[in-house]
Amino acid sequence: MKRHYKVLSIITFAVAALGLCLGLGISGSGIGYTTIMASNQALFPMPTASGTSVRVSGNAELDYSNVHDGYVMARFTRQTSNTIMILITGPNGVRYQYVLNSESRWEVFPITGGDGSYAIVIAERVDGNRFAPAINVTIEVELADEFASFLRPSQFVNFNRNSRAVAKAAELVRGSTSVVESVSRVYNFVIENIDYDFELAATVLPGFVPNIDQTLERGKGICFCYAALMTAMLRSQGIPTRLVIGYVGTVNHAWISVHSPEHGWINNIIHFDGVNWQLMDPTFAATSNQSQAFLDLVGDGTSHNPVRIH
């Protein structure tokens, strides 16, 4: 569920089309997820535009003051019906592209490619497929720790301390004594209470971004919604979580990976039944009822092919 844009003339980039699916507060990486787990409180670090490292050009503004904490923030200060894009290309060569709002509102974009050089471009569509760059900057990144990018809100995983999803996550993990137990509780809640929205899947437009609390309230969503909701709930409880967009076989899809102190990063297989890890893709788990077709598709998890990590 990636979004597809083709940019000609001034900037050219192409990404395969997929049918996709801030607040201010504590900054810094001093809150570890083991600390949050111990308290079961929403102590997650919130992004902030500190204003110490900023690039401004015309109506575009990029704040990379806290890039060591795994994010940059951007906004466009003139209301316009034109599409505003932000492109982030990391040291691994993977290019991420997002649609930036034109409401003068800061948005958070994760830095997920590890340490190294990042090229960041903010550009406005001027006509057709022509985009005019407003900001084009290269920054050097040295992350505070490997979890910095995966504990905070971002545009795709947008939550804050007042989010209903955060309150629900805190309720679910209350009394939990391990990451595994907390993940299992949140996972079971999501697959039991969120249904797949076939209507949305058939009508979703490019640029769609999940609304975490709306998914929770409506009780349905597409795979992007499932993954974003669960990512937000787990991050809010201090559990590093990656939202992954890619393919399962040849099907466009979104899923999550989590980190536990005992097992490190757990990719695709997240539910532990006390003996074995079980495949825990929240969309498939909610819709498949462990059917043979589901098992044939997912198998041992090797059919999950990640393209971008958010």
Condensed to tens digits (0 to 9), the pLDDT of residues 119-133 reads: 999 999 888 888 899
Q: Which of 137-141, 209-213, 223-227, 273-277 has the lowest mean pLDDT?
A: 273-277
Condensed to tens digits (0 to 9), the pLDDT of residues 14-25 reads: 222 222 332 222
pLDDT in the model for residue 5: 26
**Tokens read off for 197:** 């929205």
Q: Which of 90-104, 187-201, 256-270 has the lowest mean pLDDT?
A: 256-270
**What average pLDDT does the chain have?**
76
3-class secondary structure, 69: helix
pLDDT in the model for residue 307: 58
Asked: is 164-309 a CATH 3.10.620.30 domain? The reply is: yes
Condensed to tens digits (0 to 9), the pLDDT of residues 272-305 reads: 444 443 445 454 455 444 444 444 444 444 444 4
d(CA 221, CA 234): 18
Asked if pLDDT for residue 253 goes beyond 70, the answer is no
pLDDT in the model for residue 38: 43
Strand partners of residue 73: 63, 108
Q: In the predicted model, what is the mean pLDDT of residues 40-65?
A: 87
The answer to whether residues 25 and 161 touch, using CB atoms and an 8 Å cutoff, is yes
Asked if pLDDT for residue 192 goes beyond 80, the answer is yes
- Kindly report the CA angle at 156 between 152 and 160, in degrees rounded to 5? 45
Asked if pLDDT for residue 52 goes beyond 90, the answer is yes
pLDDT in the model for residue 183: 85
Asked if pLDDT for residue 62 goes beyond 70, the answer is yes
Q: In the predicted model, what is the mean pLDDT of residues 129-153?
A: 93
Q: In the predicted model, what is the mean pLDDT of residues 176-197?
A: 86
Asked if pLDDT for residue 135 goes beyond 90, the answer is yes
pLDDT in the model for residue 35: 42
Q: Please name the residue that has the structure tokens 């009394």.
A: 175
Long-range contacts of 186-190 (CB under 8 A, 24+ apart): 186/230, 186/233, 186/234, 186/237, 187/230, 187/270, 187/271, 187/280, 187/282, 187/285, 190/226, 190/229, 190/230, 190/233, 190/282, 190/286
Q: What is the DSSP string of 73-89?
A: EEEE-S--SS-EEEEEE
Q: Which of 50-59, 193-202, 264-273 has the lowest mean pLDDT?
A: 264-273
- 236 secondary structure, DSSP code: H
Pairing status of strand 130-141 against strand 116-127: antiparallel
Look up the pTM and report it. Answer: 0.77
pLDDT in the model for residue 248: 59
Condensed to tens digits (0 to 9), the pLDDT of residues 233-250 reads: 999 999 999 988 775 555
pLDDT in the model for residue 271: 40
Going by pLDDT thresholds of 50, 70 and 90, the confidence category of residue 251 is: low
